[in-house]
Each structure stands twice: as structure tokens, then as C-alpha cells.
Structure 1
Amino acid sequence: MAQRLFVFGTLKRGFPLHEQGLSGATFLGRYRTRKRYPLLIAGPWFAPMMLNEPGTGCQIVGELYEVDDKTIGDLDRLESVGELGNFRLSIEVEPAEGGSPRLALAYMKARELAHPIHLDHLQVYEDRRFIPFDQRD
């Protein structure tokens, strides 16, 4: 079954995890969250994290994809869903240039995982310091 997935960080086109996670997915366009969320760069790997704290931060700009159940399962493992502080939630997103809202899945983290914080309250993720899994000590 096809589902919509909103991505805002390393899964976006041109970033380290895109080919691994979304190479076969259908790109639906640039979207933004309807609510504000904190988006920050945190942790020892300089990972982008959208925190599950609606109403704080910015409307996050990212990309919307149509994905199948297998892709969601693969991404759940990549995003550590099921481990403490790692979530996949349904949120409202809208086209970045304006338009009708849609529901989409998004990966979020709990604030407890965001240590240390390197940058916070971003609207668009453009940081290139993320350290991919295969380059970690």
C-alpha cells in the first residue's frame, strides 16, 4: 500500500541517505509542515532531528514522497523506530508554495536524544556535517 512520507534531512535528494532510503520512491514535491516543529542538528554524528514538540520552532521545509510498505519498514530500521525516543508519526504537510494540506508520515526524535545540540530552530536542513553509518568509529 502506498503511503506519503515527509523527509527533511539526510533522506532528501542530494544528501547521504537518499539513495539508500528513497531511491525507488516517487517524489511528490517540496512541502512544509503545517505546524511548527523544532529542527536541529544534534548528537555526535551531527544528525538532523525534528523533535516531537508541535507548536515550537519553524514550519519545516522538506520533500514529500510516495513510498511502499517495504520502504517504510527499511526506513523504520534506519531511523531506529521502536527504540526509545525514535518515532514515526502522521503529521499535516502542505506544498511549500501553498496549497491543500495532506497527511504524511514523518520521523521524529525525543529531545533526550538531542545531545549535544550544534544548531537549532532551522527551517531548512542544509548542513553537510552528518557522519554516515559507514564512516563512524
Structure 2
Amino acid sequence: MYLVSVIATTVVLPLLATIIELTASPGADPLLVAGKWFVFFGVGIRLLLAGLSQIFRPGFTAKNLLGIETDDANQVVQELGFANTAMGIAGLVAYFFAASWLPAVAAIAGIFLLLAGLRHLVKKGKSATEWIPTVTDLILAVILLAFVVVSLLA
């Protein structure tokens, strides 16, 4: 379930929603449409789900993604969950205030995901489960930060 939800919210759903909206509204700005859906699904849905999981099931993240077998990290994992939940909510709200919120939310989440992905990347002895957030964090970070740069140059 974890793998499916991460891949769906990071890649599949934003691409599908972008294609559907651009097909239904051919004159729409493709950059704004794609940015809106990657922020909505990749930041809003994905980070909200991750945050809630980290708050209510910190042991899952500690054990399966960080390799920590004890409950010693639960407080830190829950605090990470608060940050993910806050970014997730911002990603959902950005849907309703696209022009003004999208670049800011994309920048914040993009920087966070880039740094988290790079941190995962250099960790030695990653499990197969750890590769999922590593790769998807980096993919989504590149997409979000590219959206920010193009938005600023437009």
C-alpha cells in the first residue's frame, strides 16, 4: 500500500490530472496546470498522508524508513509528521489560491524534498523500502523547483 500511494501521489495522479485538465481546457497554461496538480497531489495529498502516518504511527517510519528499531525516535518522527502535515495542508490550500500560493508552496516543499532525498541518498545500507522515498522525493523536488524557476522567469 505504501509503495502504491507514494508512486500514485508523486507521479501518476498529477500527470493524469494535468492531461485531463489540458484536454478539457486546451487554452489553459500548461505550466500552471501541471504545477497545480503536482502541488496538490505530490505535496498536498502525499505529505499530508505521510505526516498523519508519522504522527499516529511513528514506529513505522522509524523502523521501515530510518532503520531504528526502538521507540527512541518516535518524538522526532512525530515532529517531522507535524512539518509534513503543515506542508500537506498548504499544498491542498494552494489548489484554491493557485496564482499566489503555488510557487511558494512548491518552493518550500521542493527544498524540503530535495534535502530529504539527498540525505536519504547518502545513507549507507538503505533497505528497498528506503529507496521509495529517496527516489520519489528527488523526482518531486526537481519537478517542483523547476516549476518555481519557470514561474519566476515568466
With normalisation by structure 2, the TM-score equals 0.25
With normalisation by structure 1, the TM-score equals 0.27
Largest Rg, 1 or 2: 2
Q: Greater share of helix residues, 1 or 2?
A: 2
Higher RCO structure, 1 or 2 (CA under 8 Å, sep 6+): 1
